[in-house]
A and B are shown apart, each in its own frame.
Chain A
Amino acid sequence: MWLERRDGNTMRRRRSIFDIIREYMEEFERATEEVLSAFEQPSWNLETHSLQPLFNISVTADEVIVTADLPYADPKTLKIESVDENLIEITAKMRVKVRFEDFGVSHREGEFSSFHSRIPLPVPVDASRAKASFRRGILEVRLPRRRGYRIRVE
């Protein structure tokens, strides 16, 4: 078993079950930290005047269904783009501009006029066949899952 060391050199050693468990736990901790660190960012961006919407991803046998809560979004300005096969980007302008002041916050300045989010997809999809709808301020994008080979049952 060849392992890449942090300094870039490789070394050969036997991995015990404990090594495997430790590596697995480290991997798990890193993943957890990544998830948690996402929450340490503000949900707004002053440079782009945009807010990050709440979103949800569900995976069925045939589809990946992405929804996003977009209050005040102007449906005519909704844009959904496939950035690459694992990522879609959702943008929408809002019908109103909101400022920190509107929320009673006086120690920050800035206004927001759009939603912007990049949403990672958990499984491969065929984005060219995706369908989207927007009802009561909630966007729903249905992306068909990519199909592989069919295995014949003998």
Chain B
Amino acid sequence: MDAGIHVKDLNAWFGSTQALHGINIDMPDKQSTAIIGPSGCGKSTFVRCLNRMHETLPDTRVGGKVTVGDMDIYGKGVSAVSVRRRIGMVFQKPNPFPTMSIYDNVASGLKLNGYPNRSELDGIVESSLKKAALWEEVKDDLKKKSGASLSGGQQQRLCIARALAVEPDVLLMDEPASALDPISTSKIEDLIFELKKQYTVVIVTHNMQQAARVAEFTAFFLMGNMVEFDKTEKMFTKPSDKRTEDYITGRFG
């Protein structure tokens, strides 16, 4: 199924402050798109609008249209829970359930959604941990160790496994490696490279080299507007907009 993300005239507000201004973007299916821009440019707000996380904050509003494949994210009768099942999210700081075992962390989403029988669950936990490149490191301790006992990099991959267990079409990642050391960062980047074969990936990052390494497409945001969206190699060698060039070459402000 096509899981491309199509955003039309997306606006978002915090109270009376408009954080996003008429964003239009089409992110292709089973490709990764990086969102770059200075702090406060709206990139996190943007990805949070893609799976209806923005509305979880008080006094917020969203306008415009977001579709993933044939699903209208803000359509009538579409529940936020069903949206988030198809569009998973991984955050900057790994947030495993600290007291749950590794196994239960991965299975938690399925349990919330009415989980399948035991052997099926075992299979999904294993395949999710394998997809997240964590299986080999934890397979002997699945039920013995807690999520909190893992290293930061392992915790982040555990969170990715947890997001994958509910079989989403899209994976949103908000600075997934910024709190990790270079080795763990490389593992996450390698993982993103593998994941995009099966999932549409959107990654917010401050690290432009990371965007260059993992994303086919890059969007540059500035003050709530999307300035430019193009193939990553074009963005980083010959951007069309002067503002993009000024940002990526450090001539800003």
Interaction A to B: no
